[in-house]
């Protein structure tokens, strides 16, 4: 009996010790992951405590802080692109920063920088190493060991070197043009788009907004203006002027600079223009018929493919640069690839025509790039083409980290009447392109907002081979191998698709 009582007491003692151990272990774990006891690191900028949804932390003796909290606290512009979610763009003072998640390389004003710890996603927040913030943006860094506080001191803002003296717009025949005038050359700018509501944003770094500028322009024909409802200007940060165009529909503006770089122009397409109409009034693109007439050619001999080399003449398209000098214009590589593609498709027995076969605009009368794009689509329609194939290459402006290949399509019921699914063909082309070129696969995308895809009656696709703004892509694009592989990929995809289509 006594032995049984002793055994029972022993079991209770062991259970109690186990329970105490579990409680101690649980407490230690809660401290380690950041509990309300204050063990998390905190962040201050210029002495002000910054509230962050995800606290800073230490990894391999390197401090990482949340990018958005740091840069928005100092008035920097942080952008994430839906088409490239792993890329983070930062604009602060006269500095442009480009980061890619999990990459040890970053770019500061186009110059490559090596990170001791890559930027990474942690609890849905982009975390960046403090050392990079210090070295690339000239922040001061300190650490309060007792309080576990990472201390950042923002740098002095570089002096303003000019002002934005005018923001205006012009109603032209085929598009609206927003014009921004500055007193000095515009060297650093960044554009982006936002949805819900649709907005186009342009930030000009190194400028102040002249006090005489009307901060909100509402077009006098606002009720009939089919593109935008207002243009707003503001001093977004002490050294950055922001211009916002409130759009009625999703659209990306086409940017050009004046020769002296003191004027920047943003062009927004109007809805479809009927060139056969005697008036210059824009009309909406006709909706797809409920029961579209079958327009599928009877056989392969009746198929007509329009090959469209993007840009040309006074419109160079994107430009690839080395040490500040232009070494490749997009218009030239587009024409080279298109010419090779034309030869391959004709060798396969297909009928083709090219929108241009030299360094000139497609239209002899176009006054600008937008008018020329409209002409290309309308010309393809007038030729009763079966398929429209537009050859392009890409650019991300000042951001050099963007890379890879993407293909766009515009799928509608009316275009499907030709027997071709532009979405399926785009997917086939994209697969061939990335296999042949060895480039990053940026995917197949709906290009219904792209001018040449929106205005063509027949199925249409548009390829962006690689980025002239990316140093590695640019070197590839200079080679004959890249151009030949580009043409091979597109031609194989088209030939295989059409052969299958007419075997069924």
Does one domain contain both 210 and 321?
no
Does one domain contain both 124 and 167?
no
Q: Looking at the domain assignment, is residue 11 inside a domain?
A: no
Instruction: State residue 49's pLDDT score.
Output: 85
Closest to 44 measured CA to CA, from 181, 127, 151, 175: 151
Does one domain contain both 419 and 480?
yes
Q: Looking at the domain assignment, is residue 1 inside a domain?
A: no
Q: Looking at the domain assignment, is residue 26 inside a domain?
A: no
Q: Looking at the domain assignment, is residue 444 inside a domain?
A: yes
Does one domain contain both 368 and 491?
yes
What Å distances lie between residue 153 and 45, 48, 482, CA to CA?
6, 10, 47
Does one domain contain both 368 and 471?
yes
For residue 188, the domain's CATH number is 2.60.40.3500
Does residue 231 have a pLDDT over 80? Answer: yes
Q: Looking at the domain assignment, is residue 35 inside a domain?
A: no
Q: Looking at the domain assignment, is residue 282 inside a domain?
A: no
For residue 310, the domain's CATH number is 3.40.630.40
Tokens of 76: 């920097």
Instruction: State residue 461's pLDDT score.
Output: 96
Count of CB atoms situated within 10 Å of the CB of 216:
12
Q: Which domain holds residue 258?
A: 162-269
Does one domain contain both 54 and 87?
yes
Instruction: State residue 279's pLDDT score.
Output: 34
Does one domain contain both 59 and 143?
yes
User: pLDDT, tens digit, for every residue of 145-174?
Assistant: 788 888 878 766 555 678 999 999 888 756
Does residue 331 have a pLDDT over 90? Answer: yes
Closest to 318 measured CA to CA, from 427, 470, 449: 470
Instruction: State residue 39's pLDDT score.
Output: 44
Instruction: State residue 379's pLDDT score.
Output: 92
Which pLDDT band, with edges at 50, 70 and 90, does 490 fall under? very high
What Å distances lie between residue 265 and 193, 243, 244, 251, CA to CA?
16, 12, 13, 15
Instruction: State residue 175's pLDDT score.
Output: 72
Instruction: State residue 160's pLDDT score.
Output: 66
Domain boundary pick from 269, 292, 316: 269
Higher-pLDDT residue of 305, 177: 305
Does residue 375 have a pLDDT over 60? Answer: yes
Instruction: State residue 342's pLDDT score.
Output: 96
Rounded CA-CA distance 123/43 in Å is: 17
Most confident of 252-261, 267-276, 291-300, 333-342: 333-342
Q: Looking at the domain assignment, is residue 378 inside a domain?
A: yes
464 φ, ψ to 5°? -115, 100
| Torsional class of 165: left (φ above 0), alpha (ψ -120 to 50), beta (otherwise) | alpha
Instruction: State residue 119's pLDDT score.
Output: 82
**Structural contact between residues 157 and 238, judged by C-beta atoms closer than 8 angstroms:** yes
Domain boundary pick from 128, 153, 178: 153
Does one domain contain both 202 and 249?
yes
Higher-pLDDT residue of 323, 306: 306
In the chain the first and final C-alpha atoms are separated, in Å, by 91
For residue 138, the domain's CATH number is 3.30.457.10
Residue with tokens 């218009």: 331
Q: Looking at the domain assignment, is residue 379 inside a domain?
A: yes
Closest to 254 measured CA to CA, from 171, 177, 197: 177
User: pLDDT, tens digit, for every residue of 70-92?
Assistant: 777 777 777 766 556 677 777 76
Q: How far out from the chain centre does Cα 147 lie? A: 41
Q: What's the mean pLDDT in 178-197?
A: 85
Does one domain contain both 135 and 168?
no
User: pLDDT, tens digit, for every residue of 13-39?
Assistant: 555 444 444 444 333 333 333 322 334
Instruction: State residue 224's pLDDT score.
Output: 66
Which pLDDT band, with edges at 50, 70 and 90, does 447 fall under? confident
Rounded CA-CA distance 192/190 in Å is: 7
Tokens of 263: 């004027």
Higher-pLDDT residue of 286, 197: 197
What is the total count of domains within the chain?
3
Does one domain contain both 189 and 246?
yes
Does residue 312 have a pLDDT over 70? Answer: yes
Instruction: State residue 474's pLDDT score.
Output: 95
Does one domain contain both 210 and 359?
no
Minimum mean pLDDT among 27-36, 218-227, 322-331, 440-449: which range? 27-36
Does one domain contain both 355 and 454?
yes
Does residue 116 have a pLDDT over 70? Answer: yes
């Amino acid at each position: 009996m006594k032995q049984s009582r002793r055994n029972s007491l022993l079991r209770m003692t062991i259970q109690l010790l186990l329970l105490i151990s579990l409680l101690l272990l649980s407490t230690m774990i809660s401290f380690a992951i950041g509990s309300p006891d204050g063990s998390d690191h905190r962040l201050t900028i210029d002495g002000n405590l910054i509230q962050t949804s995800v606290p800073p932390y230490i990894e391999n003796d390197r401090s990482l802080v949340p990018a958005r909290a740091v840069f928005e606290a100092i008035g920097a512009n942080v952008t994430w692109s839906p088409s490239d979610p792993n890329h983070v763009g930062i604009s602060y003072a006269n500095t442009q920063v480009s980061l890619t998640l999990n990459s040890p390389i970053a770019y500061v004003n186009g110059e490559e920088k090596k990170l001791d710890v890559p930027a990474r996603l942690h609890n849905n927040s982009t975390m960046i190493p403090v050392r990079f913030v210090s070295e690339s943006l000239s922040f001061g860094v300190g650490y309060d060991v007792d309080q576990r506080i990472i201390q950042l001191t923002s740098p002095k803002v570089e002096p303003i070197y000019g002002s934005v003296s005018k923001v205006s717009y012009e109603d032209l025949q085929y598009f609206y043009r927003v014009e921004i005038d500055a007193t000095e050359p515009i060297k650093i700018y960044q554009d982006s788009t936002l949805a819900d509501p649709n907005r186009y944003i342009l930030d000009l770094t190194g400028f102040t907004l002249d006090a005489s500028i009307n901060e909100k322009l509402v077009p006098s024909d606002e009720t009939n203006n089919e593109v935008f409802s207002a243009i707003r200007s503001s001093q977004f940060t002490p050294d950055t002027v922001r211009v916002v165009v409130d759009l009625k529909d999703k659209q990306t503006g086409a940017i050009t600079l004046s020769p002296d770089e003191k004027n920047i122009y943003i062009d927004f397409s109007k809805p479809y223009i009927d060139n056969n109409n005697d008036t210059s009034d824009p009309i909406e693109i006709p909706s797809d018929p409920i029961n579209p007439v079958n327009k599928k050619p009877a056989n392969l001999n009746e198929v007509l493919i329009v090959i469209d080399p993007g840009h040309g003449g006074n419109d160079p398209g994107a430009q690839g640069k080395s040490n500040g000098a232009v070494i490749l214009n997009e218009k030239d590589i587009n024409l080279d690839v298109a010419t090779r593609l034309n030869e391959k498709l004709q060798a396969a027995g297909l009928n083709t025509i090219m929108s241009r076969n030299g360094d000139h605009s497609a239209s002899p009368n176009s006054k600008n790039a937008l008018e020329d794009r409209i002409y290309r689509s309308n010309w393809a329609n007038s030729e009763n083409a079966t398929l429209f194939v537009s050859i392009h290459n890409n650019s991300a402006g000042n951001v050099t980290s963007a890379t890879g290949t993407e293909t766009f399509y515009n799928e509608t019921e009316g275009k499907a009447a030709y027997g071709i699914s532009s979405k399926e063909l785009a997917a086939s082309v994209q697969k061939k392109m990335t296999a042949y070129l060895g480039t990053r696969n940026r995917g197949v995308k709906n290009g219904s907002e792209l001018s040449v895809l929106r205005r063509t009656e027949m199925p249409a696709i548009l390829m962006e081979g690689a980025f002239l703004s990316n140093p590695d892509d640019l070197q590839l694009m200079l080679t004959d191998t890249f151009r030949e592989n580009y043409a091979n990929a597109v031609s194989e995809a088209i030939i295989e698709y059409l052969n299958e289509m007419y075997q069924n």
